[in-house]
């Protein structure tokens, strides 16, 4: 699908196609459906990010909490969305040995206990290089030292990047 085709869809179709760009949060696509047509994928992404920014803290936290743990139980059980499965697989998180899985599990738990939401990282990165298990673990350790306010902001920044990458995959 290209952007022109997306812009021409009925509202329900637009929301259906973009409903998973922000993990389990079709409300983001719904919020921007009336803003069509978008002149670029970047403009669409920016509108979606602005919808999240305007949504308020409660809805933002719901969005953050909709994300799965990295290398968590849902991943091991095969219960992630296709996009999350692909992203985690690309970082090698599907090939952890038992000790590595246990370390991720402990860090996920510590992080959730401290911040009351899952650790979110755009594993494909911001610079085109992407993350591997070692850089993800280092990010966990560093970000566990953040304040809750810093980490909420960082989680939303990571989510925006994930959405940008997913839109690029979908629309080119």
Q: What is the pLDDT of residue 96?
A: 85
Q: What is the pLDDT of residue 139?
A: 96
Q: Any residues with CB less than 8 A from the CB of 84 and at least 6 apart, and which? A: 23, 67, 68, 75
Catalytic residues: 67
Give the pLDDT confidence of 6-58 residue by residue, as tens digits. Answer: 999 999 999 999 999 999 999 999 999 999 999 999 999 999 999 999 999 99
Give the pLDDT confidence of 84-103 residue by residue, as tens digits. Answer: 777 777 777 788 888 998 99
The mean per-residue pLDDT over the stretch 121-126 comes to 88
pLDDT band at 77 (very low <50, low <70, confident <90, very high): low
DSSP class of residue 48 equals H
Q: How far apart are CA 93 and CA 88, in angstroms?
A: 5
């Amino acid at each position: 699908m290209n952007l022109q085709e997306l812009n021409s869809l009925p509202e329900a179709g637009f929301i259906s196609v973009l409903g998973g760009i922000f993990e389990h949060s079709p409300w983001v696509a719904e919020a921007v459906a009336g803003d069509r047509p978008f002149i670029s994928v970047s403009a669409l992404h920016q509108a979606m990010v602005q919808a999240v920014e305007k949504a308020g803290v409660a809805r933002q936290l719901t969005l953050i909490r909709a994300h799965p743990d990295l290398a968590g139980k849902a991943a091991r059980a095969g219960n992630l969305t296709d996009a999350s499965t692909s992203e985690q697989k690309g970082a090698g998180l599907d090939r952890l040995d038992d000790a590595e899985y246990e370390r991720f599990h402990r860090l996920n738990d510590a992080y959730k206990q401290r911040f009351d939401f899952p650790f979110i990282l755009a594993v494909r990165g911001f610079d085109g290089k992407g993350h591997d298990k070692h850089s993800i673990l280092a990010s966990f350790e560093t970000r566990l030292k953040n304040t809750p306010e810093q980490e909420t902001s960082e989680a939303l920044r990571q989510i925006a990047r994930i959405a940008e990458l997913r839109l690029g995959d979908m629309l080119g």
